[in-house]
Structure 1
Amino acid sequence: MGEMEDALARAAAGTATRPIPKSAQARMRFLLKAEKGSTRAVATRLGITRRTVERYLKGTLRRPRAELAARLEREVRRDWQPRVQQRARKRASTATGIVIETRARFGYTAAPGSTDDSRMRRITQHLPPAYAARLFDAQAAGAGEQQLQTIAAEGLQEIYFKDRGRRAAGLEVEFTDIDYVELDF
């Protein structure tokens, strides 16, 4: 996954109303239920053997290695409270919008005589619901990282750089070299 996809997943996981299960056994049980009882699917998803999954389910193994613990937590968060995540996405795409915080290289093409050299900027900006809806629709359609970045760049271009059309009429923004990006909805 890319930077934008990860940021969307973290933002969706941040909408949870209850904490995820704490023990490895409980997390395995949750994944097993999410995969409709298939230990093979859980093992494939975590990159371990079926027997290891069975040992965690049985309670023989209790403390996973650090890398497995991280994968296990990430996979549980991805599927935790899907209806809550869906409601938050719907609310963001129809009413509240999203907040994007990023540090990236922004360059732009503008009128002659202006400084269009790209430079690193740290920007925190609220984007309207239309851009949130476009991001969610593109993600659901399986859009690549570049398409998601383009949508975010268009949103920042219109809201931050052009100030909703009040300035910089011919400005085209490029959004590259992402240091980090965080989304909240």
Structure 2
Amino acid sequence: MVDSLGDSLDRALEGAFTRRIPQSAQAQMKYLVKQLKGTRAVAQALGISQRTVERYVTGRLKRPRRDLAARMEREVRKRWQPQIRARARKKAASTDGIVVSTRARFGFTAAPGTTDDARVRHITQALGPRWAERLFEAREQGATEQHLLEIAAEGLGRYYFRDDGRRARGLDVEFTDVQEIEIVL
């Protein structure tokens, strides 16, 4: 399964964590109950009964099924260290930017007579703070994966293909068939 750009953005922010997420099922469930302010909300978020949540919190249940363990970990990661996550996002969006490393098919819309056949390329490119901010804002507002890829394509087009405006003016980049993608802060 190929990672999505949105998942890669989330993982990049998780790289800034200063502590590990809770490891045991009981600790994860207690954390979720505290964050979501009750067992009913946790049960709805995880798709299990409220009584099951209570059993994990008290320690009567200790080993969740594999699918439940994955859902619990995902929900904890989403909420873990929000201030650290916000600080890393702010730093990337104001000073540092991000680095996009991808293997995908790139095609172009350009002037007549130029080669615009799409082909798979492996590209690692730093994008400025403006692009980091646009990607994080879009992700936070629930943008689709396609919209995130369009933003990344604009950034890659500007920095990689057009050399920040020094060449290939008017070149529009098509970013499709993503085989792998990783974001680094």
Q: Does the TM-score normalized on the shorter chain lie above 0.5?
A: yes
Indicate the SS of the match to 1:105: strand
Match of 1:152 in 2: 152
State how far apart, in whole Å, the 2-side matches of 1:122 and 1:71 are: 32
1:50 offset after TM fit, Å?
A: 1.2
- For residues 1-185 of structure 1, what are the structure 2 equivalents within 5 Å? 3-36=4-37, 38-185=38-185
What TM-score comes out, normalization by structure 1 length? 0.94
User: Residue type matched to 2:24 in 1?
Assistant: S
For residues 21-57 of structure 1, the C-alpha deviation after alignment (integer angstroms, 9 at most, x for no partner) is 1110000000000001x11111111121112111111
- Tell me the distance in 2 between the aligned counterparts of 1:144 and 1:119: 24
Distance 1:43 1:177 in 2: 36
Q: Which amino acid counterpart does residue 112 of structure 1 have in structure 2?
A: P
Shift of 1:139: 2.2
Give me the whole-angstrom Cα distance separating, in 2, the residues matched to 1:52 and 1:12: 31
Give the aligned length: 183
RMSD of Structure 2 on Structure 1 (CA): 1.3
Runs of 4+ in 1 over 6 A off after TM superposition: none
The SS at the match of 2:33 is helix
Whole-angstrom distance in 1 between the partners of 2:143 and 2:74: 21
Q: How far apart, CA to CA, are the structure 2 residues paired with 1:48 and 1:110?
A: 53
Give the gaps of 5 or more residues in structure 2: none
CA distance in 1: counterparts of 2:47 and 2:136, whole angstroms: 28
Q: Deviations over 1:121-169 (max 9, x none)?
A: 1111110001011112222333222221111000000001111111111
Question: Which residue type is aligned with residue 5 of structure 2?
Answer: M
Q: Give unmatched runs, 5+ long, in structure 1.
A: none
CA–CA separation in structure 1 for the residues paired with 2:141 and 2:74: 22
1: distance between equivalents of 2:135 and 2:166?
Answer: 24
The amino acid across from 1:15 in the alignment is: A
Q: Deviations over 1:55-108 (max 9, x none)?
A: 111111111111111111111111000000000000000000011111111110
